Structure 1
Amino acid sequence: MVEGNHEEFNQEDELYEHYSFKAGKGQEPLRVDKFLMNFIENATRNKIQQAAKNGNIYINGTVVKSSHKVKANDEVKVLFEHPPHEYLLTPENIPLDIVFEDDQLLVVNKSAGMVVHPGHGNYSGTLINALIYHFENLPMNSDERPGLVHRIDKDTSGLLVVAKTEHALSHLSKQFFDKTSEREYLALVWGDVADDEGMIEGHIGRHPKNRLQMTVFPEGDHGKEAVTHYKVVERFGYVTLVSCKLETGRTHQIRVHMKNAGHTLFNDERYGGNKILKGTTFSKYKQFVENCFKVLPRQALHAKTLGFEHPLTGELMSFDSQMPEDMQQCIEKWRNYARHMETKE
């Protein structure tokens, strides 16, 4: 078990991000730069080594080099310089795919690869940078992220609702909190899902050994309650296309629940889906899967539909988005592969 925390503070008029971790009792000796890469999202090895050169990595209160090895029960701290808050909220002229807009809200179809809000390692090119360029006076949420009601992962494509007024932000946020909003995702997962439909329950929280991952705590002793409803859309033998509806909205919920159920998302690098988890050992099959990874260089997850009550009119609004080209191409490859296998049998 590794304990950790993250905070931001000023030191000599420079803004830093401060991370601290305590290595677990079973920690094998490991270079501190490799250790930190397991726990800090978007922190490259170069960034960590630069922090070491600047004297900003500490083990048990002593400045260390990047090659120093972390051992059991060590206290590890690192400071990263990053741009001040004002810089993080710089307007940028980035095109937006707006599905709907009125004076209260807008619905955006986010492309895969776009980060939703600025943070460590992603200081520009985010959805927030685009929103504040195109829209003035967006209301700030509790995390000081203008207009943001909910979020989806960087490499997940699909629909997001953004509030344009304080009333809309409050009303929409309550719907998500009360679980009255509707969200459906399409996911391509490894394996032949046994049941045509079902429900996955299990508290989700930070993984004790890898802070970049979330995990399921089946006993409910850690994390937060999470419920995912799934339905099989199409079967391709070694992979399955499923529809997932969220009852709750936890970080990486679908990715974690499906992995826990034995069906990791296809090409989900963070959770091991970028390896061949099902199938044969034939070299042609391996090459086929590698080609699929190239066509879809991200986790196979798309936020397809979004439903909520309009904050002013009370009208039930529902939006649908087309699966992006990369995911369509990958699924078509698997569809053809499955047909080919059927004809051989």
Structure 2
Amino acid sequence: MKKFTVNEKQTLKTFTDNVYPQGSFAFPRLLRARDIRVNGKKTGENILLREGDEVVYYTTLREESVPAYETVYEDENVLVADKYAGVNSEALYFALSQKGETYFIHRLDRNTAGLMIFAKNKRAEAELLRAFRERRVQKIYLALCFGKFAKGVDMLCGYLVKDEKAARVRVYSKPREGAEKIETEYRVLNGDGELSMVEIVLHSGKTHQIRAHMAFIGHPVAGDEKYGDEARNKKYGVKRQLLVAKTLRLQTKGALAYLNGQSFSSRFVPELKNSCPNAPKMI
């Protein structure tokens, strides 16, 4: 059993996704069994919550044992976490903040596994935010993409427009009103003609940049249900994008100068065998 207090108006599903990863994984079952109580009353629906509501989840011990992250590195200033696919960045932050002072620095899409770094005090937060803003943090991703790439290495340039209402982005080859320039560098590591393992470096970190840019050039990330290839996703049985934030390299100063040049690596690899929709993790 886990108990939480709602901090603002939102649906039960959104609240669960943002504060309790294990409850999020088990959410369909919890609703079917009416194993969630809001202010003492059982519910089987995705009801609207209000500030101050008390939510209790009657998750099983097995459900509660499902991990949301692994700690890759931790000291008095920072924590580097390896997030499991299916976990909201906000939920990971919430879990860490329950253990002590924690500051949110950057995020990953829910269904992207891999590395996130958090600050544990204000000085570390300030330096990490500066490092990200000044592009002194290099993020390298691995993605399993559909198709055979014409070029083994390339630097892609495009223009990204956010569609807030549709909760997605669109990529164009030429500038247009409201668009932000994006740069995505890739290197094909291996492939069999139908699938390619690709290393990707972001030179501009925009919403859904990798997923949208790969789809734009005709090589969508396998399992991507928003920008991907529905037919090929169905053929391979993938329902979660096979994308991992694999490496995090720091160029830090000031309070974090001792971490300058440090590189961290995720244990996750984007592989088809990990794409079972009932599995909350990618190994």
User: Shared topology, TM-score over 0.5?
Assistant: yes
Q: Which residue of 2 aligns with 1:334?
A: none
1:302 Cα offset (Å): 0.5
Q: Which residue of 2 aligns with 1:112?
A: 85
Q: Quick one: distance in 2 between partners of 1:258 and 1:318?
A: 26
**Counterpart of 1:297 in structure 2: which amino acid?**
K
* Cα distance change on mapping 1:86 and 1:327 into 2, 3 Å: farther
* Cα distance change on mapping 1:186 and 1:276 into 2, 3 Å: same
1:84 Cα offset (Å): 3.0
* Cα distance change on mapping 1:95 and 1:212 into 2, 3 Å: closer
1:207 Cα offset (Å): 3.5
1:212 Cα offset (Å): 1.8
1:261 aligns with 2:238: no
Q: Which residue of 2 aligns with 1:170?
A: 126
Q: Which residue of 1 aligns with 2:106?
A: 150
* Cα distance change on mapping 1:95 and 1:227 into 2, 3 Å: closer
1:128 aligns with 2:93: yes
* Cα distance change on mapping 1:189 and 1:87 into 2, 3 Å: farther
* Cα distance change on mapping 1:240 and 1:330 into 2, 3 Å: farther
Q: Which residue of 1 aligns with 2:250?
A: 308
Q: Which residue of 2 aligns with 1:219?
A: 174
1:85 Cα offset (Å): 8.6
Once the two structures are superposed, what CA deviation does each residue of 1:50-97 show, in whole Å capped at 9, x if it has no partner? xxxxxxxxxxxxxxxxxxxxxxxxxxxxxx944439989xxx997641
* Cα distance change on mapping 1:316 and 1:84 into 2, 3 Å: farther
Q: Which residue of 2 aligns with 1:285?
A: none
Q: Give the 5 Å matches for 1:168-317.
A: 168-207=124-163, 211-221=166-176, 222-276=178-232, 290=235, 292-293=236-237, 296-311=238-253, 312-314=255-257, 315-317=260-262
Q: Quick one: distance in 1 between partners of 2:210 and 2:227?
A: 11
3-state SS of paired residue (1:316): coil
Contact kept, 8 Å, 2:127 with 2:256, in 1: the verdict is no
Give the paired residue count.
Answer: 222
**Counterpart of 1:84 in structure 2: which amino acid?**
E
1:84 aligns with 2:28: no
Q: Quick one: distance in 1 between partners of 2:192 and 2:51?
A: 48
Q: Structure with the greater relative contact order (CA < 8 A, sep ≥ 6): 1 or 2?
A: 2
Q: Quick one: distance in 2 between partners of 1:107 and 1:182?
A: 14
Q: Which residue of 2 aligns with 1:137?
A: 101
Contact kept, 8 Å, 1:104 with 1:165, in 2: the verdict is yes
Q: Quick one: distance in 2 between partners of 1:192 and 1:83?
A: 50
The TM-score with structure 1 as length reference comes to 0.58
1:103 aligns with 2:76: yes
Unaligned 5+ runs, structure 2: 1-6, 11-46, 56-63, 276-283
Q: Quick one: distance in 2 between partners of 1:223 and 1:84?
A: 36
3-state SS of paired residue (1:175): helix
Once the two structures are superposed, what CA deviation does each residue of 1:274-300 show, in whole Å capped at 9, x if it has no partner? 3228xxxxxxxxxxx64x32xx43101
* Cα distance change on mapping 1:235 and 1:130 into 2, 3 Å: same
* Cα distance change on mapping 1:313 and 1:178 into 2, 3 Å: closer
Unaligned 5+ runs, structure 1: 1-13, 18-79, 118-125, 139-146, 278-288, 332-345
Once the two structures are superposed, what CA deviation does each residue of 1:145-188 show, in whole Å capped at 9, x if it has no partner? xx111111000000011011111111111111111211110111
**Counterpart of 1:212 in structure 2: which amino acid?**
A
Q: Quick one: distance in 2 between partners of 1:87 and 1:174?
A: 37
Q: CA RMSD in A?
A: 3.0
**Counterpart of 1:308 in structure 2: which amino acid?**
L
* Cα distance change on mapping 1:198 and 1:170 into 2, 3 Å: same
3-state SS of paired residue (1:167): helix
